[in-house]
Amino acid sequence: MPNNSSDREETNMTSRASHKQRGSRFEVELRDWFRSRQYDSERLARAGKDDEGDVSVKGFLGFIGIIEAKAPGAGNKIDLSGWAKEARTEANNYTKARGLDQGAVLPAIAIKARGKSLADTYLVFRLGDLFDE
């Protein structure tokens, strides 16, 4: 019987690469969408454990929005609790790296709706983050 482990590994690597490409495209689309609406928006560099989010948007609901972009595939689960924790951690990293007050930054999650336009993206944040709790 043939060994299919190398085939599975190759499929997993291809799958991971395509997920990363989908996520990167979504980040660029978000940045450009905000820019087209006259917001100062930047795609943030990845920094491992010191990651500062995916996209920053100045003037976002009166804050600097630090957006964690998610473009889940068909079989992926939505993990609001985990993603919210990730967004808060990365927003904290952003404020520390720039010496900003925590109250100046609002962490948010942008979740791409599969097969829909960018305007159909879900934007999620914790009420406690918006109302300083």
CA 11 from chain center: how many Å? 25
- Across the range 52-56, mean pLDDT stands at 95
Cβ neighbours of 101 (radius 10 Å) = 7
pTM of the model: 0.82
Q: What is the pLDDT of residue 6?
A: 53
Structure-block tokens of residue 40: 């100062």
The C-alpha angle 22, 26, 27, rounded to 5 degrees, equals 120
Going by C-alpha positions, the residue among 52, 72, 61 that lies closest to residue 104 is 61
Cβ neighbours of 94 (radius 10 Å) = 21
Please tell me the least confidently modeled range out of 55-59, 74-78, 89-93, 95-99.
74-78
Does residue 8 register a pLDDT over 60? no
Instruction: For 42-72, give one letter per residue: b (16+ CB within 10 A) or e.
Output: ebbeeeeeebbbbbbbeebeebbbbbbbbbb
The C-alpha angle 62, 65, 69, rounded to 5 degrees, equals 150
pLDDT band at 23 (very low <50, low <70, confident <90, very high): confident
Amino acid identity, residue 25? Answer: R
Does residue 9 register a pLDDT over 70? no
